[in-house]
């Protein structure tokens, strides 16, 4: 069955337009099969309602999504069309993550009632995804397919800038098999970005990893063919508590916020953050094992994993090992919020710095109002052993103004001492604090089972005067993109 899952994911990566109907905003678990949902009222469209709040005769109004239940009749006119195709809807309003099964169905679990991000990370319960294609496998078993193909043109200005036309891609398949008192999940995520050159695409002030034997500077590396090959077992130990075990040859440990590709706050931003190696660099590790305990609003977990970052040869699976560890705590004080704090000790993550370990501390706050506005603020401290501590701050927002128009932005501030890797350069190993400001816009067009987003971004930077000779006084970067997605 796992081989069929991999084959489906590979097919989606190669032929996204041929799929029957993701988003890098999150790995939310598939919604339960439609047959298992509570029956809809004959005169009401419940597509935007919080069904979880409707399950009890006397609900806890403090936890209900009143904004979605104010009117007994949904105003389809406000959605743009009297008989709107749900593939065109603002799916941030659709609360799939808290749709418990009908009473007596044991396939509803704690993880179904919480926003799930990449790996085992959490997102606000309001942060849900539009599943591209849901395929029944018999009984309650389901297969979810989604992904995107993202042509991008970027032009990064200044003396160290460059321009490039390239294509990002991701295909994801998730098989879920519920059983009484638990569920089993298999996930694979793949990309065709290894078709790019090893040095990826231009991105001013980005650093991390290696290409052609040299450290990458002002470039963002491509992703590996296998971004995730992992399984997860959830077992209920009480009515609102479960334990879980996650792991595989490729996966993500319990460290940091959900990776940038899977946050709604970065949904249409085609550029990886320049703080990627402070927050997200462990979203692909070769060998990971995570155990944890979780409730609907909280989660505690610990991981062991391979600390070395992937090498520049992106087609293979590298040798898994367990030489690093991390712990993470997540808490959702309300449906709109998710707070996260984590700590990890990473063994020799950088190929160019053998013998240097890293102790990483992160904290983040995510917000999603369930109606198109999502945001995140995060901090990370990278304490190198031996070496100095370098920190980074990140804020980003995505706002769906209407079903068609979205604006988004990102602000990053990072202390980086890898901008001049040449040991003979007088600025070698000097730390510089750089701030990147980025704003963008996307216009969404439904194309049958696919969604097309057309847009672009513009970036500006604040930096010390000592960098003017290398970067120019006021470098500007911009991108143009066309994002084809199956699902959000």
Closest CA to 29 of 102, 107, 139: 107
d(CA 158, CA 471): 5
Residue 26: closest CA among 131, 104, 113, 136 = 131
What residue spans define the domains of the chain? 2-33+84-486
pLDDT at 128: 75
CATH superfamily membership of 2-33+84-486: Porin (2.40.160.10)
Q: What is the distance between the alpha carbons of residues 258 and 262, in angstroms, rounded to a whole number?
A: 6
Tokens coding 437: 């400001």
| CA Rg value for the chain | 22
Tens digit of pLDDT at every position of the chain (488 positions): 434 434 444 443 333 333 333 343 334 334 444 433 444 433 434 333 333 333 344 444 444 444 333 444 434 333 333 343 433 444 333 333 333 333 333 345 665 556 889 999 999 999 976 667 888 998 899 999 999 999 999 999 999 999 999 999 999 999 999 999 999 999 999 999 999 999 999 999 999 999 999 999 999 999 999 999 999 999 999 999 999 999 999 999 999 999 999 999 999 999 999 999 999 999 999 999 999 999 999 999 999 999 999 999 999 999 999 999 999 999 999 999 999 999 999 999 998 889 999 999 999 999 999 999 999 999 999 999 998 999 999 999 999 999 999 999 999 999 999 999 999 999 999 999 999 999 999 999 999 889 999 999 999 999 999 999 999 999 999 999 999 999 76
Helices (H), 349-397: none
pLDDT score for 21: 37
- How far, rounded to the nearest angstrom, does the alpha carbon of residue 258 sit from its chain's CA centroid? 5
Q: What is the pTM of this model?
A: 0.78
């Amino acid at each position: 069955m796992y081989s069929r899952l991999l084959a489906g994911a590979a097919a989606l990566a190669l032929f996204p337009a041929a799929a029957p109907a993701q988003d890098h905003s999150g790995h939310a678990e598939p919604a339960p099969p439609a047959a298992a949902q509570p029956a809809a009222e004959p005169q009401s469209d419940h597509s935007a309602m919080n069904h979880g709040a409707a399950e009890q005769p006397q609900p806890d109004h403090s936890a209900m999504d009143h904004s979605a239940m104010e009117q007994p009749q949904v105003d389809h006119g406000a959605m743009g069309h009297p008989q709107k195709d749900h593939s065109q809807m603002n799916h941030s309003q659709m609360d799939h993550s808290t749709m418990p099964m009908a009473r007596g169905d044991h396939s509803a679990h704690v993880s179904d009632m919480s926003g799930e991000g990449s790996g085992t990370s959490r997102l606000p319960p309001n942060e849900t995804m539009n599943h591209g294609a849901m395929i029944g496998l018999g009984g309650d078993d389901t297969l979810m397919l989604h992904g995107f193909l993202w042509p991008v043109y970027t032009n990064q200005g200044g003396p160290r800038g460059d321009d490039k036309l390239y294509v990002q891609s991701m295909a994801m398949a998730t098989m879920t098999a519920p059983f009484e008192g638990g569920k089993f999940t298999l996930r694979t995520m793949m990309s065709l970005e290894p078709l790019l050159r090893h040095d990826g695409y231009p991105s001013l002030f980005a650093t991390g990893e290696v290409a052609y034997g040299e450290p990458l500077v002002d470039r963002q590396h491509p992703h590996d063919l296998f971004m995730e090959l992992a399984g997860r077992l959830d077992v209920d130990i009480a009515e609102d508590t479960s334990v879980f075990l996650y792991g595989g040859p490729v996966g993500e440990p319990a460290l940091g916020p959900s990776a940038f590709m899977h946050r709604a706050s970065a949904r249409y931003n085609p550029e990886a953050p320049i703080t990627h190696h402070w927050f997200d660099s462990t979203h692909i590790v070769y060998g990971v094992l995570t155990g944890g305990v979780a409730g609907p609003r909280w989660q505690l977990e610990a991981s062991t994993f391979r600390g070395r970052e992937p090498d520049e040869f992106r087609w293979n699976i590298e040798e898994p090992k367990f030489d690093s560890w991390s712990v993470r705590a997540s808490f959702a004080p309300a449906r709109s919020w998710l707070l996260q704090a984590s700590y990890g000790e990473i063994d020799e993550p950088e190929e160019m710095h053998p013998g240097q370990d890293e102790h990483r501390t992160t904290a983040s706050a995510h917000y999603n109002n369930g109606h198109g506005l999502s945001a995140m603020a995060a901090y990370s401290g990278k304490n190198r052993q031996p070496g100095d501590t370098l920190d980074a701050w990140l804020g980003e927002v995505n706002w769906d103004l209407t079903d068609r128009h979205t604006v988004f932005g990102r602000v990053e501030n990072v202390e980086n001492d890898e901008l001049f890797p040449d040991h003979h350069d007088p600025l070698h190993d000097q730390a510089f604090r750089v701030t990147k400001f980025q704003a963008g816009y996307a216009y969404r067009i439904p194309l049958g089972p696919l969604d097309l987003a057309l847009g672009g971004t513009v970036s500006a930077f604040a930096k010390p005067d000592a960098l003017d000779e290398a970067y120019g006084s006021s470098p500007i970067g911009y991108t143009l993109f066309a994002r084809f997605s199956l699902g959000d």
